[in-house]
C-alpha cells in the first residue's frame, strides 16, 4: 500500500471503527480515538511534502492495480502540482474540526466523528484518483457522510437543507456520469483520465462534454446561479460541517474543471470561456453585494465563499499562468480562511446560541483574545496583504488585467465588497460597548479553542508572508496544462 492509499484509507478505517463502537461507548474514549485517527491521517501525508519533485509535471506517488477486470477499471492514484496541496490540506482541516467539535457535540459522538473521518478519506480520494470511474465513486461518496452530518446534527431546518444539498449535487453529477461513459467508449474501453486528455474529439462532442462536466462542477463550486443551496446548508450545518464544506468540499468542483473540463475539452473551454468569465464576475460582484445585506453571520460568510470561489473559476478561464496558479492558491487560502471564519462563528454560537448579528455587540470587551483572532481572519477574508487571502486574489486580478482591463477592474471590486461586508460584520459583532446581558456574560476562549484558532492563524500568516512553497509545487503542472489547452483536439 502506497502513501496515497494510506492517506485515503487510514481516516476511513478509523471512521469505520468509530461507527462500530456503538452509542453507549465512552464519549471521552471516542473523542480521543477520533483525534488519533485524524492525526494519523495527517502524518501519512507528511512524506508527500518531502518526496514531491517540483521540477516535473508527471504524476508522482503513482499506484495502479486492476479493480474490475471486465470493464478495465483500475484503482489508479497519483498526484501532480494541480492536486498536491489538497491532500495535506484535507487531512489538516480534519484534525482542526475534530478538536473544534470536542465539547459541542454530545449526542452520537462516535457517529459524528466517524462521519468526518470517512469524509476526509473520500475527499483525499477525489484529489488522487486517475481513473474516471474511481473519481466518480469518490466524488459521489462524499455526499453521504456530509448529508448525514447536516441531517442529524444540523439546525431546525436540517432535513430541508440536507435534501437540497443532496439533490443539487446529485442531479448535476448524473450528466457527468453520461460524459464518463461516452469517453470510456470513445477511448476503446479505458477509464484512464490521462488517456482521455489525448482523445481527438469533435467540436460538438467537446461542447456537450464540457457542459456535462459543468453541470456537476459548477454546482459543487458553487457558481452563480446554482449557488442557492450553499447558504441554506451552511446555516443549518453544525460548525464542523460548515468548516469542512467551505474549506474542502467546494474545492472538489474547482479541481474537476482543472482535471476534466480544460484538458479533455480544450476547444470548448476556449470557446465558452466568455460564459465562465461572466458567471465568475457575477459571483464576485453581485453575490458580494448580496452578502452586504445579510443579518445571519453564517449566511454572510457563505455568500462570501461564493464570491471568493468566483475568483478561482475566473483565474482558470483566462488561460494565463498567473491566473490558473492564482486560482489554485486561492483555493488553498480559502480553505484556511473560510474554515477559520466558520469556526469563529461556532465559538460564539456555542455560548449564545444565535447566529444573528443583532444578538451581539461589544464582544471585544468580554472576549479580547478571541476578538483578536477574529480580526485577523476577517482581514484575511478582505484580502489584506501578508495574509493568505491576499495572495491568490492578487494573482488572479493581475492575470485578469493582463487578459482584459475591464475584467480585471470587475474582479478588483471584490476587494472593496469583501472589505465592506466583512468589516461591517466585525464592527457590529465585536466593537463598541457591550450590547446585552448575553455578551456581558461571555467567557473568553479556552485552551482548546485557542489552539485551533492559533494553528489556523499561523497557517494564514505563513501563506500570506511566504507563499513560495505553495506556488513552486504547481508552476510546472500549470504550464503543461495551459500548453495542452492551447493545442486543438479537433480531429
pLDDT, tens digit (0-9, with 9 covering 90-100), for 91-122: 999 999 888 888 787 778 788 888 889 999 99
At 22 the pLDDT is 65
Cell numbers at 310, concatenated:
468566483
Q: What φ, ψ does residue 175 adopt, rounded to 5°?
A: -65, -35
- Count of CB atoms situated within 10 Å of the CB of 145: 24
Cis peptide before 96 (omega within 30 of 0): no
The whole-model pTM stands at: 0.88
Helix, strand, coil share (%) of the chain residues, nearest 5:
75, 5, 20
Task: Tell me how long the chain is.
Answer: 491
The three cell numbers locating residue 403: 487578459
Query: How far is residue 239's CA from residue 32's CA, in Å, rounded to a whole number?
Result: 19
216 HSE (CA, 13 A, CB side)? 26
| CB contact set of 177 (below 8 Å; sequence gap of 6+) | 136
The DSSP bridge partners found for residue 356 are: 296
Q: What is the predicted pLDDT for the residue at 461?
A: 92
What residues contact 127, with CB distance under 8 A and at least 6 apart?
79, 83, 86, 87, 90, 255
What the block records as the C-alpha cell of 387 is 495574509
Pairwise CA distance, residues 75 & 66, whole Å: 6
CA-closest candidate to residue 214, choices 186, 179, 247: 179
Give SS3 for 67.
Answer: strand
Query: Are 76 and 2 in contact, with CB atoms under 8 Å apart?
Result: no
| pLDDT score of 24 | 59
Specify whether the CB–CB gap between 282 and 303 falls below 8 A: no
Q: For residues 400 and 318, is the Cβ–Cβ distance under 8 A?
A: yes
Mean pLDDT per 10-residue interval, the chain, length 491 residues: 86 88 72 88 88 83 82 85 88 90 79 88 91 88 87 81 82 83 83 82 84 85 79 83 86 88 86 86 83 84 85 88 89 89 87 82 85 90 85 87 85 82 87 79 83 90 89 87 77 63
Q: What's the confidence (pLDDT) of residue 458?
A: 92
The answer to whether the peptide bond before residue 407 is cis (omega within 30 degrees of 0) is no
Instruction: Determine the Cα–Cα distance for residues 216 and 198; give it in Å rounded to an integer.
Output: 22
Q: Which three cell numbers stand for residue 408?
A: 480585471
Grouping H, G, I as helix, E, B as strand and the rest as coil, residue 86 is: helix
Amino acid at each position: 500500500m502506497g502513501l496515497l492509499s494510506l492517506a485515503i484509507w487510514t481516516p476511513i478505517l478509523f471512521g469505520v471503527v468509530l461507527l462500530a463502537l456503538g452509542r453507549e461507548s465512552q464519549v471521552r474514549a471516542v473523542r480521543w480515538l477520533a483525534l488519533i485517527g485524524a492525526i494519523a491521517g495527517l502524518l501519512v501525508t507528511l512524506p508527500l511534502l518531502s518526496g514531491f519533485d517540483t521540477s516535473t509535471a508527471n504524476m508522482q506517488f503513482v499506484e495502479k492495480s486492476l479493480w474490475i477486470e471486465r470493464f478495465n477499471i483500475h484503482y489508479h492514484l497519483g498526484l501532480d502540482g494541480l492536486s498536491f496541496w489538497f491532500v495535506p490540506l484535507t487531512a489538516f482541516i480534519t484534525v482542526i474540526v475534530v478538536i473544534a467539535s470536542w465539547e459541542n457535540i454530545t449526542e452520537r459522538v462516535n457517529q459524528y466523528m466517524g462521519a468526518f473521518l470517512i469524509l476526509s478519506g473520500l475527499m483525499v480520494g477525489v484529489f488522487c484518483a486517475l481513473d474516471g470511474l474511481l473519481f466518480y465513486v469518490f466524488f459521489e461518496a462524499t455526499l453521504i457522510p456530509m448529508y448525514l452530518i447536516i441531517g442529524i446534527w444540523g439546525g431546525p431546518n436540517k432535513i430541508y437543507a440536507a435534501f437540497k444539498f443532496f439533490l443539487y449535487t446529485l442531479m448535476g453529477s448524473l450528466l457527468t456520469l453520461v460524459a464518463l461513459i461516452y469517453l470510456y467508449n470513445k477511448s476503446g474501453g479505458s477509464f484512464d483520465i490521462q488517456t482521455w486528455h489525448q482523445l481527438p474529439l469533435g467540436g460538438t462532442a467537446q461542447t456537450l462534454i464540457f457542459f456535462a462536466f459543468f453541470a456537476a462542477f459548477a454546482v459543487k463550486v458553487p457558481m452563480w446561479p446554482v449557488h442557492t443551496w450553499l447558504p441554506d446548508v451552511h446555516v443549518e450545518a453544525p460548525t464542523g460541517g460548515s468548516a469542512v464544506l467551505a474549506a474542502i468540499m467546494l474545492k472538489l468542483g474547482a479541481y474537476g474543471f482543472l482535471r476534466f473540463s480544460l484538458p479533455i475539452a480544450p476547444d470548448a473551454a476556449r470557446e465558452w470561456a466568455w460564459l465562465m468569465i461572466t458567471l465568475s464576475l457575477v459571483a464576485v460582484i453581485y453575490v458580494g453585494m448580496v452578502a452586504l445585506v445579510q443579518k445571519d453571520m453564517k449566511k454572510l460568510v457563505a455568500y462570501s465563499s461564493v464570491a471568493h470561489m468566483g475568483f478561482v473559476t475566473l483565474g482558470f478561464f483566462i488561460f494565463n499562468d498567473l491566473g490558473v496558479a492564482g486560482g489554485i492558491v486561492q483555493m488553498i487560502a480559502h480553505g484556511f480562511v473560510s474554515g477559520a471564519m466558520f469556526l469563529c462563528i461556532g465559538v460564539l454560537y456555542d455560548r449564545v446560541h444565535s447566529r444573528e448579528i443583532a444578538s451581539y455587540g461589544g464582544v471585544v470587551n468580554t472576549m479580547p483574545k478571541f476578538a483578536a483572532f477574529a480580526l485577523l481572519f476577517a482581514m484575511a477574508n478582505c484580502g489584506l496583504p501578508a495574509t493568505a487571502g491576499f495572495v491568490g486574489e492578487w494573482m488572479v486580478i493581475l492575470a485578469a488585467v493582463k487578459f482584459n482591463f475591464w475584467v480585471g477592474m470587475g474582479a478588483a471590486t471584490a476587494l472593496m465588497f469583501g472589505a465592506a461586508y466583512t468589516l461591517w460584520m466585525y464592527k457590529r459583532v465585536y466593537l463598541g460597548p457591550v450590547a446585552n446581558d448575553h455578551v456581558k456574560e461571555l467567557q473568553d476562549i479556552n485552551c482548546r479553542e485557542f489552539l485551533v484558532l492559533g494553528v489556523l492563524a499561523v497557517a494564514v500568516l505563513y501563506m500570506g508572508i511566504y507563499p513560495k512553497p505553495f506556488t513552486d509545487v504547481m508552476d510546472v503542472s500549470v504550464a503543461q496544462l495551459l500548453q495542452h489547452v492551447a493545442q486543438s483536439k479537433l480531429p
